[in-house]
Amino acid sequence: MAVKEKKIGFAKRLPSSAVFSIASTVGALLFTSFILWMAGAQPGLTFEKILAGAFGDSVKIANGLVVWVPLSLTAGALIITFTAGLWNLGIEGQIMLGAIAATGTLRVLQNSLLSPVLIILFACLMGMVGGALWAALTGILRLFGGVSEIFAGVGLNFVATALSLWLIFDPWKRPGVGSMSGTEPFDERLWLATIPGYRLSLWSLVLVVVVFIGLFILLKKTRFGIQIKAIGKNLEAARLMGIQTRKQMMAAMLLCGGLAGLAGALQVVAVYHRLIPSISSGYGFLAMLVAMLANNNLMLALLVAYLFAILNIGGIQLPIVLHLDSTLSGVLQTALVLFFLIMNGVKQHLTERKERNRHAE
């Protein structure tokens, strides 16, 4: 799927990449069908209902896009760090901090005389700053403290969760009550305008397009992009080539955190209009799967994010019409990635064997 065709002669006789992609998709579908069969459900019907639930009408399609926006933003963000060879598992916390910073900004400015547009813009900006600062913490721990970004990130996710719960139940609680439903919703004028009749905001769609064009330019057309690619592939060599590896890795973390924070801020201004306990919605981890399945390819990430969004939205139908649990969507999503990794391994294995045979001739 994403794998670039190598220009090496011996690869030619191997089945093309498409074959492996199809094989991994079929594998994931078969696996999920098996799980469905174990749960006593009809696989065909189930998949049909998921699709109907995602494309049944324009509202559903729009709802899919509502999920797609933060998911693709976060996946795009992760592709930056993945390219730089950083497993930014702290992404969930970065989304949360973005949401927290945006909420804080809105709380401060909601009664001011600024125009709502400015307030929203400022909230998004502060969201980016919040996410970036949280990412910076991971970056500093990794680059100056020698703490793997994996563990620093996971730890900081917990801290971020606790922080948001504390804010919701304590300093930012609704008048008189701390509620799981989150902080007091903001005034409607501070909501990001949506298309009438839909939950979808055109602005967030535009934002995704702009961000991805920006990411494409950043990663493919700028020195920074090619430098972090080099860092991701060979840190030491990149350093010896005179690339300022620390600075660029930190920049990658900050950019990623900033975009994740933006996704979190959008959840506040465009979807929930307040801070809720699990504001990150697990998008960070889901986006990680998206980026893996897309093999860090931006265009593919947009598609895969859409596929995953569809599965999330379509999965809602399962309890309604089939009395099944919606986590099936998650099973299918993760199975897709697992089988992709497996087929990737098989492909590499076959490639190597071909190569060996070639030399033996």
Sequence length of the chain is: 361
- What does the block give as tokens for 105? 């900004």
Q: Which one of residues 30, 108, 189, 221 is an interface residue with other proteins (CB under 8 A)?
A: 221
Considering beta carbons, is residue 210 or 240 the nearer one to other proteins?
A: 240
User: Which of these ranges, 99-107, 169-177, 203-211, 296-304, lies near other proteins under the rule CB under 8 A?
Assistant: 169-177
Helix axis angle, 202-216 relative to 58-83, nearest 10°?
30
User: Which of these ranges, 14-22, 97-105, 122-130, 173-181, lies near other proteins under the rule CB under 8 A?
Assistant: 173-181
Give Cα 316 to chain centroid, integer Å.
20
Q: What CA–CA distances, in Å, run from 96 to 27, 111, 125, 146?
A: 34, 24, 14, 24
Give Cα 71 to chain centroid, integer Å.
4
281 belongs to the binding site for other proteins (CB under 8 A): yes
User: Which of these ranges, 113-121, 127-135, 141-149, 201-209, lies near other proteins under the rule CB under 8 A?
Assistant: 141-149
Q: How far is the CB of 179 from other proteins (least distance, A)?
A: 6
Q: How far is the CB of 185 from other proteins (least distance, A)?
A: 5
Q: Footprint of other proteins on residues 66-95 (CB under 8 A)? A: 66-67, 70-71, 87, 89
Report the distance separating Cα 296 and Cα 243, nearest Å: 22
Residue 75's closest CA among 335, 249, 290, 318?
Answer: 290
The answer to whether 72 touches 289, Cβ cutoff 8 Å, is no
187 belongs to the binding site for other proteins (CB under 8 A): no
39 belongs to the binding site for other proteins (CB under 8 A): yes
Q: Footprint of other proteins on residues 299-358 (CB under 8 A)? A: 309, 312-313, 316-317, 319-321, 324-328, 330-331, 333-335, 337-338, 341-342, 344-346, 348-349
Report the distance separating Cα 311 and Cα 281, nearest Å: 15
Q: Which one of residues 2, 51, 178, 251 is an interface residue with other proteins (CB under 8 A)?
A: 178
Residue with tokens 């933003």: 73
Q: Footprint of other proteins on residues 90-119 (CB under 8 A)? A: none
The answer to whether 41 touches 246, Cβ cutoff 8 Å, is no
Q: Which one of residues 141, 259, 287, 300 is an interface residue with other proteins (CB under 8 A)?
A: 141
152 belongs to the binding site for other proteins (CB under 8 A): yes
